[in-house]
């Protein structure tokens, strides 16, 4: 959800609730429907506080998932660069092949996995280049101590990369379950209905509009914030994008050129196998 859609949602919801308040105000008694305004305000404070505490706690959990996805994407991109460096300590032919696979892996993450995460269609799919690297290394037997050390280091970096990928895709399906969404919207509807009982024809229309509009804007913005953290990938301000992996690709390209490495072309620019 981009800023324009978010602002449009806030405006439409606020317009609806303010209109409802003004319509109810026409037939409301003077002083609102409550005989004791202080008691009614106290009950409203309990409702609003309970809603704010629950929503704030859920937003905090959703932000943790958002931050875990961001950290996972950065760690995964760093691991790809580190594995390119480690591959150069393996026999030249195998090292160049693994370097090419890592480049294809990065391209696949950027142009295949990220759009799938945005659409929520990634599911349990694995990166095909990760499987190719596993197949390549499974058939490799280190011949020297240096190669054995590089092999061990490669496996450790593979574990780190795979764990980082899990963290990156963890938030694709959302961390807030449906019952919580239903509960939040029901509580918001209760607060909205309770606010209508504060309608007072003795008050000015703009005062009543401000009363309802301010509460609606705050609740709607908090719910939209929760939607944002629950769906962290995609386009829009603040959304997670493959910036770290794109940077890693540029670093790999520069390192390959400086080191004079000539990895074979195993995929196109989108990471699809040739």
Per-residue pLDDT of the chain (274 residues; tens, 9 = 90+): 577 888 899 999 999 999 999 999 888 888 788 877 778 888 888 888 888 888 888 988 888 888 888 899 999 999 999 999 999 988 888 889 999 999 999 999 999 888 888 777 776 778 889 989 999 888 888 888 888 999 999 999 999 999 999 888 876 767 788 888 999 999 999 999 989 888 888 888 888 999 899 999 999 999 998 888 887 776 667 788 889 999 999 999 998 888 888 888 999 988 898 8
For residue 156, is it within any domain? Answer: yes
For residue 117, is it within any domain? Answer: yes
Tell me the two tokens of residue 228: 């944002």
**Exposed, middle or buried, 119 (CB in 10 Å: 0-12/13-18/19+)?**
exposed
For residue 5, is it within any domain? Answer: no
* Per-residue pLDDT at 235: 66
Tell me the two tokens of residue 72: 């996972």
For residue 61, is it within any domain? Answer: no
For residue 59, is it within any domain? Answer: no
For residue 1, is it within any domain? Answer: no
* Per-residue pLDDT at 123: 66
For residue 168, is it within any domain? Answer: yes
How many domains are there within the chain?
Answer: 1
Residue 79, domain extent = 71-174+238-274
Instruction: Answer for the pair 104, 69: CB distance below 8 angstroms, yes or no.
Output: no
Instruction: Answer for the pair 130, 160: CB distance below 8 angstroms, yes or no.
Output: no
For residue 11, is it within any domain? Answer: no
């Amino acid at each position: 959800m981009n800023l324009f859609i978010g602002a449009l949602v806030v405006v439409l919801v606020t317009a609806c609730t303010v209109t409802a308040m003004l319509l109810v105000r026409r037939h409301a008694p003077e002083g609102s429907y409550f005989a004791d305004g202080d008691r009614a305000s106290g009950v409203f404070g309990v409702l609003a506080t309970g809603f704010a505490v629950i929503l704030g706690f859920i937003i905090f959990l959703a932000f943790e998932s958002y931050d875990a996805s961001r950290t996972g994407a950065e760690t995964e991109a760093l691991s790809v660069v580190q594995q390119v460096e480690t591959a150069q300590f393996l026999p030249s032919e195998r090292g160049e092949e693994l370097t090419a696979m890592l480049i294809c892996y990065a391209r696949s993450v950027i142009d295949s996995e990220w759009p799938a995460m945005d659409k929520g269609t990634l599911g349990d799919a694995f990166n095909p280049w990760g499987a190719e690297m596993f197949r390549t290394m499974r058939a490799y037997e280190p011949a020297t101590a240096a190669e054995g050390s590089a092999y061990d280091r490669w496996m450790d970096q593979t574990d780190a990369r795979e764990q980082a990928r899990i963290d990156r895709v963890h938030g694709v399906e959302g961390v807030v379950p449906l019952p919580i969404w239903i509960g939040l919207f029901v509580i918001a509807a209760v607060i909205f209905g309770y606010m209508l009982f504060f309608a007072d024809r003795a008050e000015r229309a703009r005062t009543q509009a401000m009363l309802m509009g301010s509460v609606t804007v705050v609740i709607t913005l908090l719910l939209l914030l929760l939607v944002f953290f629950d769906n962290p990938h995609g386009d829009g301000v603040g959304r997670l994008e493959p910036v770290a992996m794109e940077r890693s690709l540029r670093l790999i390209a520069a390192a390959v050129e400086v080191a004079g490495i000539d990895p074979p072309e195993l995929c196109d620019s989108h990471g699809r196998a040739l």
